[in-house]
Structure 1
């Protein structure tokens, strides 16, 4: 089995971050989101991965390399525009050949991985297998209607009146039969080749499409809130480790990871917290659930439940929470201005000023 990992979307909900980098490279616990997808692929025993890239292709190639750091061999596949998941399958046709494959959205975080899903798909003999999860608002997702035996009877994309609460979460296993389905469908109203239409075509042709459901933590990291929540899940499973320098005037509570080359001075760190190489934290309170990337500077500040990207600087901040701070960004206290009043007062007015 091969894997097809999608990393070409625009990430409009994560602007302005995605104006300058791929959303799949935004970090969860100081590791790119797409890195978790590739690690899950490797842990499932899949050795070859096609990575579909778009406008930020060079950045993704630099970050992922040949895939050896994740235990896979990567072939890069260029998608000129984000024209749908089924379009990504179409441009990967030569790479996929006649192999079964796992389709994995590269901005998804799935805590349990996909090893069990891949094994059951390989043993099941179905034309397709879908991974679903119950959600409180199915109208925002592709939704599957599943019978008592686990066979999928109908798929709908963001339905006004959902037939179930089971949402597609961006993990699919396909046999080569999907290629005929992709050729058979036409672009949707938004101009994309929808993978839900291809799967529905397979169902309509009498092919076996089976679903399984997970209730383990899953996040489509397409928004800041989802990024922070995924970061929290990963940090919850982290073990503490001190490889950098922590002075005797600092207090570390709980699971804190200080990378080699990082420095903590006169600070109070409440885990889980991850501090990247080259970062300096001084006279500050950090945590919990905070990931600080490489080469950042935190001084005279308090910050928690947040993610800081490489080179960010926070100085004199009284309290920052639930924030995503970009690369080389600077957050600093505003200068205090002398107290003064500027008035334009009409005739016969009366004004009272407090000191």
Structure 2
């Protein structure tokens, strides 16, 4: 069955976005959202998340859950009043910023017994990627081809080089290698890159609740994924040759605004 639910992890602290090195000139609501670290609310014609959610709706998503912190009233204020005709928007509260696995666990009631698209709030994925992955049965993730990701994204090659790569066998995920070394990249030259675009069901919740804190002191979604694999669950890797718009720092805002100029939005 095609997926019709999506969970957006919007609880992140936005540390890179909050940092102001003085090289970008933001004003008004852009500056306020950037300083608060609420990347999804940064105005790039409309709030960035409007474009993300509209693309979800184009792919058949009907229910969206924003995982936010208890202090994130700006998300509620905006999405409670904005016009919506294609999606419903609800909220799950992650009480403390304890990592991505903890964030997904906060959306347990929303996911229920269904499958759901799960991704971060600072990435805009092409519709072609979303329409492919929502139709895949079971658990799944998008695996991005390195060269196309670099060529079609606003992400520098040096940053992409540090992104997690996937060990894939017969179309199934065997492992994720985070911050791969030069030797690991050479050992897996054609390994797809993870951009945290997932399809999960209720099986992800106990996995997220079981993992231990990482060296950063956070509960990491990648560790929950490894837990699933180690316990016999299969995760299909959907190969895609596409780019992603990444809203990580203030310097990304102007380029993303240009890229999304003229893109229609209907929530």
- Bin of the TM-score, shorter chain as denominator length: 0.7 to 0.9
Quote how far apart the aligned CAs of 1:77 are. Answer: 1.4
Aligned mates of 2:51, 2:71 — CA distance in 1: 18
Question: Where do 1:60-75 residues align within 5 Å?
Answer: 60-65=75-80, 68-69=83-84, 71-75=86-90
- Alignment counterpart, residue 159 of structure 1, candidates 175, 180, 184: 180
- Alignment counterpart, residue 141 of structure 1, candidates 157, 163, 170: 163
Q: Could you say which structure has the greater relative contact order, defined with CA pairs below 8 angstroms and 6 or more residues apart?
A: 2
**2:119 corresponding residue in structure 1:** 104
- Alignment counterpart, residue 9 of structure 2, candidates 6, 10, 14: 6
Aligned mates of 2:6, 2:134 — CA distance in 1: 13
Closer/same/farther in 2, CA of residues 61 and 80 from structure 1, 3 Å limit: same
Quote how far apart the aligned CAs of 1:32 are. Answer: 1.2
Aligned mates of 2:89, 2:121 — CA distance in 1: 13
| Structure whose residues are more often helix by fraction | 2
Give the alignment's TM-score, normalised by structure 2.
0.77
- Alignment counterpart, residue 199 of structure 2, candidates 165, 173, 194: 173
Aligned mates of 1:106, 1:113 — CA distance in 2: 18
In our comparison, the structure showing a higher alpha carbon Rg is 1
Q: Indicate the larger mover: 194-203 or 225-234.
A: 225-234
Quote how far apart the aligned CAs of 1:114 are. Answer: 4.9
CA offsets per residue over residues 127-184 of structure 1, 9 Å max, x none?
Answer: x21112225445422221223x321111122223344552221321012221232122
Question: Where do 1:283-294 residues align within 5 Å?
Answer: none
1:21–1:56 contact (8 Å) kept in structure 2 = no
Give the alignment's TM-score, normalised by structure 1.
0.59
Question: Where do 1:51-66 residues align within 5 Å?
Answer: 51-54=66-69, 57-65=72-80
- Alignment counterpart, residue 226 of structure 2, candidates 191, 200, 203: 200
**1:19 corresponding residue in structure 2:** 35
Aligned mates of 1:120, 1:81 — CA distance in 2: 33
**RMSD over aligned Cα, in angstroms?**
2.4
Unaligned runs of at least 5 residues, structure 1: 240-355
Aligned mates of 1:4, 1:77 — CA distance in 2: 9
Aligned mates of 2:81, 2:205 — CA distance in 1: 26
- Alignment counterpart, residue 150 of structure 1, candidates 141, 165, 171: 171
- Alignment counterpart, residue 143 of structure 2, candidates 122, 127, 132: 132
Aligned mates of 2:52, 2:161 — CA distance in 1: 25
**1:211 corresponding residue in structure 2:** 237
1:14 aligned counterpart, secondary structure: helix
Aligned mates of 1:68, 1:78 — CA distance in 2: 23
Quote how far apart the aligned CAs of 1:70 are. Answer: 6.2
Aligned mates of 1:12, 1:38 — CA distance in 2: 23
Quote how far apart the aligned CAs of 1:52 are. Answer: 0.8
Aligned residue pairs total 232
2:133–2:140 contact (8 Å) kept in structure 1 = no
Aligned mates of 2:263, 2:210 — CA distance in 1: 46
| Structure whose residues are more often strand by fraction | 1
- Alignment counterpart, residue 183 of structure 1, candidates 209, 213, 229: 209
2:258 aligned counterpart, secondary structure: helix
CA offsets per residue over residues 28-78 of structure 1, 9 Å max, x none?
Answer: 2x1111112211222222222111112651111122226652621111112
